[in-house]
Amino acid sequence: MVEFQVINKIPVLTSDLSVAIQKIEQIMLSSVQLNIMMGGRPDAFKTKGNNSTPLVGTGRMYKGIKSAHTVDSATVFVDSSVVSKTGFFYPKSLNDGASVPEVDGKLMVFEIDGHTVFTYHRKAYHRNAFPFMLFQAEDKIRIMEALAGAIFQTKQVSFS
């Protein structure tokens, strides 16, 4: 009697993404936190002052980054606690840009090119957007790998 057995691993589709979604949430959260700690990625946010990480300042932005997930989605967001003394939600102006109004009659002091400038007037201007809730290319790859690993699992089968 001749007996043989073939053992192989074949890919099996699964619909349970719960573990992968939790991992993806952590990837997203750490990516946005790193964006803030680095002052923006991939290019650092350009400032004229000494602050090399302008998004860190008080630490409210970093502490305000939160994450959540459901069975089939993961979300990273800025908590509503990240506001100015007057209640202005900073992350919205960073993401969308902001119109800065004209100021007239108030003493303002600026440092420009090593010189201190005193003025009572500033023209209105529009501040460009600085979207800090972006994922980098390496983050997207890690997210896709986590999804692929969860969807396509290997199962050992044997034929006798």
Q: What pLDDT, on the 0 to 100 scale, is given for residue 25? A: 95
Q: What are 40-52's pLDDT values in tens digits?
A: 665 655 555 555 5
What are the residue boundaries of the structural domains of the chain, listed by start?
Answer: 12-98+128-150
Q: What pLDDT, on the 0 to 100 scale, is given for residue 159? A: 67
- SS3 string, 23-85, reads HHHHHHHHHHHHHHHCCCCCCCCCCCCCCCCCCCCCCHHHHHEEEEECCCCEEEEECCCCECC
Q: What are 11-31's pLDDT values in tens digits?
A: 777 778 889 999 999 999 999
pTM above 0.75, yes or no: no
Whole-number average pLDDT of the chain: 81
